[in-house]
Homo-oligomer: A and B are copies of this chain.
Amino acid sequence: MRAVTIRDGALSVEEHPDPEPGPGEILVAIRAAGLNGADMLQRKGAYPAPPGSPADIPGLELAGEVSARGPGAERFEPGDRVMAVVGGGGQAELAVVHERAAMPVPETLEFPQAGGTPEVFVTAHDALFSQGGLRPGERLLVHGGAGGVGTAAVQLGRAAGARVTATVRNEGLRADVAGLGATAIGPEEYVEAGPFDVILELVGAPNMGGNVKALASGGRVVVIGVGAGFKAEVNLVALMGKRGTIRASTLRARPLEEKAAASRLVEKEVLPLFEAGVLTVPVAETFPLDEVEAAYERFAKGGKFGKVVLLTG
């Protein structure tokens, strides 16, 4: 198979041996694979793949068709459309995925969208509800509302009955984010727009001082992105006064059973909202596999609405 390959920080598309599905695994003929912030770090060597994942093939999410099943795998039939979060190896023509980590692709999603769905919707759902405990009627702030996780979080918050505000750096994208159901504001306006019960931090440490100020009593800051910096200064007295929580999380490094559990929750609570037409997956741009370098450049440039997706087959 052909796969995006990282070698000393350079990206290329190279031949690799076809992977073979082990017990409980399925082989997926990948059609689309979304890019994520972690890919940019992995390319720079700053975020090595977790054990059990290909060390040199990036890609944390994929969508495609089941082309073979390993011993005991029976959740899907060959030909079924599936999507999954993986520890790596998604940006390739083939990948093996444990069947418990895979989800069916909702009928309303074409492959470009489906390839950009699992990582951001599993991440956003886990962050908002499992980590942040978001409840109906609460006030949610999403920092970085125009990106992949941001657009997923805005829609999920809205669908769950929260009142959603999102910071969007690029003024030209604020109407798009507002169209998803958020009040879209500039990146410096969030403290006065508060207080918020849950703050989803996708930007990083520079926001943390303001986040504590913008927090409602009993509020939770969930940190899952730190692209803008990771050394945060936190005023503990202010946080005590708010009886506030700062929780940090990543999806990628979790063990299989936790990823599988997160996928089951998304199947139960999120996929029906795709079928009902409540959720969409904004795709900013797609690139064929051979133009992976351009795809990464587009992602790194930022200022996009939704996902950058590689079309792998």
Listed in ascending order, the chain A residues whose CB lies under 8 Å from chain B are 204-205, 208, 223-224, 226, 230-237, 239-250, 253-254
Contact = CB atoms under 8 A, between A and B. Distances in A.
Contacts of A236: 204-205, 208, 223, 226, 230-232, 248
Given A230-B236, A233-B233, A243-B249, 16 more contacts: A208-B234, A223-B236, A223-B239, A224-B240, A226-B236, A231-B233, A231-B234, A232-B235, A232-B236, A233-B234, A234-B246, A239-B246, A239-B248, A240-B250, A245-B245, A245-B248
Nearest to A243: B249
Contact of A242 (B204, B241, B242, B248): B248
Of A231, A233, A237, A247, the most chain B CB neighbours within 10 A belong to A237
Nearest to A205: B236
A245 B243 contact: no
A200 to B, nearest CB: 13
B235 A231 contact: yes
Nearest to A246: B246
Nearest to A47: B237
B246 A241 contact: no
Contacts of A254: 243
A130 to B, nearest CB: 11
B247 A241 contact: no
Copies of this chain per assembly: 2
A248 B243 contact: yes
A232 B231 CA distance: 10
A38 B52 CA distance: 51
A133 to B, nearest CB: 11
Contacts of A245: 245-248
A231 B237 CA distance: 8
Contact of A248 (B223, B232, B244): B244
A209 to B, nearest CB: 10
Contact of A226 (B240, B243, B248): B240
A231 B246 CA distance: 15
Contacts of A226: 236-237, 240
Given A240-B223, A245-B246, A247-B245, A233 B235 contact: no
Given A231-B235, A233-B231, A233-B233, A250 B243 contact: yes
A246 B233 CA distance: 13
Given A224-B240, A244-B247, A232 B230 contact: no
B253 A241 contact: yes
A233 B240 CA distance: 16
Given A230-B235, A230-B236, A234-B234, A250 B241 contact: yes
A225 to B, nearest CB: 9
A240 B248 contact: yes
A3 B244 CA distance: 34
A248 B243 CA distance: 5
A234 B205 CA distance: 9
